[in-house]
Amino acid sequence: MADPKKPALGDVIEIRCRFCRLNLDANVSALGPDGGIVKVQCRTCRHFQDFKAPRPIEDQRAALIRKVMKIAERHTQGTSNRSTPAATTTGSLSAEAVAKALWDEATKDANPLKSKIYDPHRAFGVDDLIHHKGRGLGVVREADDVSILVLFREGFVRLPHDEPRDE
């Protein structure tokens, strides 16, 4: 009987598919002389490729957030005045540093693919992740009947929401 820890040809394993760019199941298609996996075939796209171990979900989330933040910074670079010195709060922390710390805490487990596009006619709730065209990714911190307080990377902004449409 074969050793259960060593893979055999045709076994189904989890890989990081370089074509699909996802963690997916694959069939073992080639083994090395030492018994290690050399080539696999993705069961989704059917491409043969070198074996690559799957990426942890936390690493994928962090990469997605970095990518979204980079895009948001590029789009909002000209809209905010970042060259002015920040007002200091109690202690040695600036308002920007406090907002950055709050931002990091609010988005540590956020998935940017599940964000809602901001529209003043749409209703939002507390802890909703939104994407604003001019300001980028934001987290709703307070919501009342007519406005929401949103934490963006550069600080808090109050925005209207749930407005009736003019028809």
Would residue 27 count as lying in a domain? yes
**Contacts of 60 by beta carbon, 8 Å cutoff, 6+ apart:** 23
62, 123: one domain: yes
Select the more confidently predicted residue: 160 or 78. 160
Residues 66-75: tens digit of each pLDDT: 888 888 777 7
Query: Is position 81 within any domain?
Result: no
pLDDT 10s digits, 115-128: 899 999 999 998 89
Domain that holds residue 20: 12-50
99 pLDDT tier (thresholds 50, 70, 90): confident
pLDDT of residue 92: 58
With respect to residue 108, please indicate whether it lies within any of the assigned structural domains: yes
Chain position carrying tokens 């073992």: 28
pLDDT at 42 (0 to 100): 95
41 lies in the same domain as 123: no
Domain annotation covers residue 82:
no
Task: With respect to residue 84, please indicate whether it lies within any of the assigned structural domains.
Answer: no
- For residue range 102-115, what is the model confidence (pLDDT) as tens digits? 888 888 888 878 88
d(CA 148, CA 140) in angstroms, rounded, equals 7
Based on the domain organization, do 45 and 100 belong to the same domain?
no
Are 34 and 68 within one domain?
Answer: no
Tens-digit pLDDT profile for residues 125-148: 988 999 998 888 889 999 998 999
- pLDDT tens-digit profile of 17-31? 999 988 999 999 999
Q: Which amino acid is at 87?
A: A
Alpha-carbon distance 22 to 116, whole Å? 23
Residue 62 shares a structural domain with residue 20: no
> Tell me: the pLDDT tens digits for 36-72?
999 999 999 999 999 999 999 888 888 888 888 888 7
**Is 165 a member of any domain?**
no
17 three-class SS: strand
What's the pTM value of the predicted model, to 2 decimals?
0.45
Q: What pLDDT is stored for residue 108 in this prediction?
A: 83
Q: How much of the chain, in percent, has pLDDT values that exceed 70?
A: 86
Strand partners, 116: 130
Residues 121 and 64 in one domain: yes
The strand order across the sheet containing 129-132 reads: 116-117, 129-132, 136-143, 147-152, 155-160
List the beta strands (DSSP E) in the chain.
12-17, 22-31, 37-42, 48-50, 116-117, 129-132, 136-143, 147-152, 155-160
State yes or no: pLDDT of 5 exceeds 50: yes
One domain for residues 129 and 147: yes
